[in-house]
Structure 1
Amino acid sequence: MPVNGVDHVNILTDDLEATASFYERVLGLTRSDNPTIAKGIAGYWMRDAAGHAIVHLVDRTTAPGRYDEYRPGQPTNALHHFALRCSGFAETVAMIEQLGLAHRVMEHPGLGLRQVFLVDPNAVNLELNFPGD
């Protein structure tokens, strides 16, 4: 079986609205209903401009017993970060700075790559890659 790419990232949160707002403001994703809501679990699917659900958000407090052992904001010891291929480096950095978010910029001229690193409200590390931008 060949793997064709990453389908989505699932993030548990105790503050669904703040997390969804972060992904809207910082990554320009659009929230849509999460089909698990019918099962009584609150959440959103954060979609890119093409409509692909890139980040799934789940309010773990609405799923008693299911995610009790998970604590957003605590290190997972397994997942360090997830990376997204992006465009619009200068605009993105300006927007992140305007929002007052802590971030780090790395430039790799030999690779034709610029990167921005930041952390979401749940302590999930994000790597935004801007190839050739």
Structure 2
Amino acid sequence: MIVFELFHIAIKTADLEATVNFYTKVVGLKEFDRPRFKFPGAWLGVPGPTGKPIIHIYAGEPALAGGDSVAVGTAAIDHVSLSAVGYHDVLANVKKYGVDWRENEVPGGSIWQFFIYDPNGVLLEFTFDGTREKGEKPDMSPGRAYRAGESFFNPENYNALTATYSK
């Protein structure tokens, strides 16, 4: 056996609409056709002619896993990283939707990053090749620089933003 790529990640949600809207409007993924499972969900992925679904969202009974609520956050997985181009354009879109973020420049290299949370508390890292990016380097000032292990997710403030993602 040879593993050659990550096929997809799956995220449970209590709010399917807010989650789909976040990933399509803020992140810029597109919705793909999904098999007719007996529970609600969505498949989201990279736009373009060779795009494929990379994030599976599921809601309803499977998301509850026999409980009364859906877990929040990434648990033992710290974050999900997405490669991207257009650092300042992508970051401007994040700001447009009022999503909080943190920035990072990897020491000793040319990698630029910024981090945001989805409505379910899943931490996303956007990774860029800084040698191909134009404009200012990531803001590493206190309060804006990403610090591994420090959460900046605030569910109460974030929940107030979910109405922004309405279609």
Q: With the length of structure 2 as denominator, give the TM-score of the two structures.
A: 0.69
Q: Would you say 1:80 and 2:74 are equivalent positions?
A: no
Displacement after TM superposition at 1:76 (Å):
5.0
Q: Give the number of aligned pairs.
A: 128
CA distance in 2, matches of 1:120, 1:47: 15
Q: CA RMSD in A?
A: 2.0
Measured against aligned partners, the alpha-carbon deviations of 1:59-98 in whole angstroms (never above 9, x if no partner) come to: 1x2448x72247231x453111111111110101111111
Within 5 Å, give how 1:1-133 maps onto structure 2.
Answer: 1-35=1-35, 38-49=36-47, 50-59=50-59, 61-63=60-62, 67-69=65-67, 71-73=70-72, 75-108=73-106, 110-132=108-130, 133=133
User: Residue by residue, what CA displacement relative to the aligned partner does 1:29-85 show, whole Å, maximum 9, x if unpaired?
Assistant: 1112321xx3311111002113310100001x2448x72247231x45311111111
Larger Rg: 2
Runs of 4 or more, structure 1, over 4 Å off, are none
Per the alignment, in what secondary structure is the counterpart of residue 110 of structure 1? coil
CA–CA separation in structure 2 for the residues paired with 1:83 and 1:98 = 21
Instruction: Return 5+ residue gaps in structure 1 as ranges.
Output: none
Distance in 1 separating the partners of 2:71 and 2:19 = 11
Q: Is the 8 A contact 1:34 1:42 kept in 2?
A: no
Gaps of 5+ in 2: 134-167
**By percentage of residues, which structure has more strand?**
1
Which shifted more, 9-18 or 26-35?
Answer: 26-35
- How far apart, CA to CA, are the structure 2 residues paired with 1:58 and 1:102? 24
